[in-house]
């Protein structure tokens, strides 16, 4: 599936048209996770659909979900902008950002410098760079480019071997361990445990995908996660504010 998504991205890039500058001032994504509101940081994802689960939210409104996430005490937002596989849009990111005061991650499959420009123009405060999708030297170039344009970067990996290759090039402030294998879609929230001893001092570890319960949160904290990225389990609730409170054991 990852290779299918990446092939399609290349065709999108060939048809790239520079978007209008949304003129949305940058917000500090990394800092928000460094000083989270609770004992573990929360990136709440605005996600309509996914290749593994199909449609997750029928009545989808990026502004409403983003606002509810903020009311529930999320530290940051993640907004899926890929349209073919996740039914996202670039405009969802700008709308979610306008509706809240939270820093926003653009969740997409970045493989080219023009997508860094695009992310900046639509208002992203951070971008995702997937270790399994990029040669480490290109990943490092894209990382520096994002930084030059005032954005943070969440460097995501699924395997320790890929992280080791990336660490020869850069020392990312934010390292995401994706609990989901993007080829089989299997999730294992214990994945972060395999990275013990590999996360540089000063980097924040974000556990991503497959987090559904307070017990899951407690488990990933044990494995050293500073923050979590949660999409489906929050989006499936009617009210995302309440969903966050339930996830943290503050409501039933």
Ligand X SMILES: O=C(O)c1ccccc1NCC(=O)[C@H](O)[C@H](O)COP(=O)(O)O
CB of 2 to ligand X, least distance (A): 6
CB of 128 to ligand X, least distance (A): 8
Determine contact, residues 202/212, Cβ cutoff 8 Å.
no
Rounded to whole angstroms, the Cα distance separating 58 from 178 reads 25
Token pair belonging to 72: 């529930």
Which residue is it, tokens 């996660």?
225
The set of residues, in sequence order, having a beta carbon less than 8 Å from that of 199 and lying 6+ positions away, is 175, 205, 224
Rounded to whole angstroms, the Cα distance separating 161 from 36 reads 29
Give residue number: closest CB to ligand X: 231
**Interface with ligand X (CB under 6 A):** 1, 45, 47, 50-52, 178, 182, 185, 208-211, 229-233
Return the bridge partners of 156, or none.
130, 176
Nearer to ligand X, 123 or 210 (CB): 210
Nearer to ligand X, 161 or 184 (CB): 184
CB of 117 to ligand X, least distance (A): 22
Token pair belonging to 234: 């929050």
CB of 242 to ligand X, least distance (A): 17
CB of 18 to ligand X, least distance (A): 26
Residue closest to 109 by CA, chosen among 92, 125, 131: 131
Nearer to ligand X, 95 or 130 (CB): 130
Nearer to ligand X, 22 or 233 (CB): 233
* DSSP-derived 3-state class of residue 68: helix
Nearer to ligand X, 84 or 168 (CB): 84
């Amino acid at each position: 599936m990852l290779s299918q998504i990446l092939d399609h991205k290349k065709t999108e890039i060939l048809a790239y048209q520079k978007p209008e500058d949304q003129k949305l001032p940058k917000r500090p994504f990394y800092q928000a996770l460094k000083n989270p509101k609770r004992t573990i940081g929360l990136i709440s994802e605005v996600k309509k659909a996914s290749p593994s689960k199909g449609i997750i939210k029928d009545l989808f409104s990026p502004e409403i979900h983003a606002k509810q996430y903020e009311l529930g005490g999320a530290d940051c937002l993640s907004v899926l902008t890929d349209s073919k596989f996740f039914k996202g849009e670039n405009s969802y990111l700008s709308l979610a950002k306008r509706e809240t005061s939270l820093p926003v991650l653009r969740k997409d499959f970045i493989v080219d410098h023009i997508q860094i420009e695009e992310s900046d123009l639509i208002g992203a405060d951070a971008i995702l760079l997937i270790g399994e999708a990029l040669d480490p030297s290109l990943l490092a170039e894209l990382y520096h480019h994002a930084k030059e344009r005032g954005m943070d970067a969440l460097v995501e990996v699924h395997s320790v071997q890929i992280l080791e290759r990336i660490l020869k090039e850069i020392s990312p402030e934010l390292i995401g361990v994706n609990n989901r294998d993007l080829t089989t879609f299997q999730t294992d929230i214990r994945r972060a445990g395999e990275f013990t001893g590999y996360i540089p001092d000063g980097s924040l570890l974000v556990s991503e995908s497959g987090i559904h319960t307070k017990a899951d949160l407690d488990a990933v904290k044990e494995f050293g996660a500073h923050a979590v990225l949660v999409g489906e389990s929050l989006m499936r609730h009617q009210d995302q504010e309440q969903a966050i409170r339930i996830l943290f054991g503050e409501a039933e």
